[in-house]
Amino acid sequence: MTEQRITQRGLYFDELEEGVVYEHRPGRTMTETDNVLFTTLTMNPQPLHLDRHWSEQSEFGEPLMNSMHTLATMVGLSVGQLTQGTIVANLGFSDIAFPAPVRHGDTIYCETRVTGKRPSKSRPGQGIATFEHTARNQHGKVVARAVRQVLLQGTPEAAA
């Protein structure tokens, strides 16, 4: 008997279904360490992320997570289920919004709706998909949204 092997990967363009919502689990708890490392790594001197004393005097009363970290984590949570090993390129982001802040210790969960897909006109065997990512905190409150277009490989059969 031949051993069956399954390799984790994202979905090929042909496997995506418009209108389907993919829930990405597990979530990710955002920590102060994440915030400080990401903020300093990206050269962002915003005291709202780095200076506890200053942040405590702000309307939020505490440091907030860097929104670019929230965006990157939201997209990252989708990779294993949607694009791992099947993406050719990110084509762009639009309609990015952060309707509520993320605080140290919040856990975010992401879901992605496929809002469109079409075969590439210039790259046979590949296609362009539009994803609408939504991140919610542990209380179900939406903390981030973004629309993302990606170029994906088609299944090996479709590319042949």
Residue percentage of the chain with pLDDT more than 70? 98
Mean pLDDT confidence for 52-68: 97
CA nearest to 78, candidates 104, 105, 114: 114
Amino acid at 34: D
Is residue 160 predicted with pLDDT exceeding 70? no
pLDDT at 91: 98
Helix (H, G, I), strand (E, B) or coil at 13: helix
> Which alpha helices (H) appear in the chain, and where do they start and end?
32-41, 47-50, 52-56, 67-82, 156-159
pTM across the whole model: 0.93
pLDDT, tens digit, 9 for 90 and up, residues 76-126:
999 999 999 999 999 999 999 999 999 999 999 999 999 999 999 999 999
Report all structural domains of the chain as residue ranges with CATH numbers, in order of start.
13-159 (3.10.129.10)
